[in-house]
Amino acid sequence: MRTVFIFFLVFITAVSASAQSRQQQKVDSVFEQVKKYFNQKNSDAIYNMAGADFQKELSIDAFAQVTQKQLFLLGKINESSLISFVNNNVASYKLKLDSITLQLMMSLDSRDKLQLFLFQQYEEPVGDKTALVQTSNPLRSAMDKKIDSVTRIYIQKSTTVGLLIGIIKNGTTTIYSYGETIRRGKKLPNADNFF
């Protein structure tokens, strides 16, 4: 039975990774077109790649104003690289333009049209936290230690603020708190926090 479970888990992971890479390939393909049109200063072509919801929120004239009077003035995209692809949905790209480095966040709708198209100031990613994040985990039992070893991978990342884990075993509930409720708040999350 254990062999079947492990095979199933590996199979599900492989299928999930394959689906993610297909979605990422779609977003990357659209990004390459956006980059081409951006460097040609063709705001209409980029706008025509947007989905209905995007176009409903922002008219073609408003989009042209932003691109032509703000973005295109920054120069061409000389270099680009994928920073992240979160939840098999939102891609973030680092863009080196003639005069500045920006970050572009993009996602596609169900018809593979632009849904999210957001330029931001690029900030160099901060490395993982070096000091151990505070926790309520007493690290006494084997379960405590297993929870800690799995949780540390996530909670020590620079972008992670807090985490609350509840385990129900043999009718007993055990709560583990890690991190803080708000960044630099120094207060551990508890069972009363709303997430």
Beta pairing partners, 2: none
Helix (H) or strand (E) holding 34: helix 2-39
Do 147 and 184 lie in one domain? The reply is yes
**pLDDT grade for 195, boundaries at 50, 70 and 90:** low
Give the phi and the psi of residue 129 in degrees, each rounded to 5: -65, 135
Q: Reply yes or no on whether the pLDDT at 3 is more than 60.
A: no
What does the alpha-carbon distance between residue 68 and residue 131 come to, in Å, rounded to a whole number?
46
Domain end residue (candidates: 121, 155, 185): 121
Same domain flag for 8 and 57? yes
Last residue of a domain, one of 121, 149, 171: 121
Whether residue 139 sits in one domain with residue 70: no
pLDDT of residue 126: 73
**Statement: residue 118 has pLDDT above 50:** yes
Task: Say yes or no: 114 and 145 in one domain.
Answer: no
Q: How confident is the model at residue 163 (pLDDT cuts 50, 70, 90)?
A: very high
**pLDDT over 60 (residue 19):** no
CATH number at residue 94: 3.10.450.590
Token output for 72: 């295109």
Domain residues for the domain of 113 are 2-121
What is the pTM (predicted TM-score) of this model? 0.60
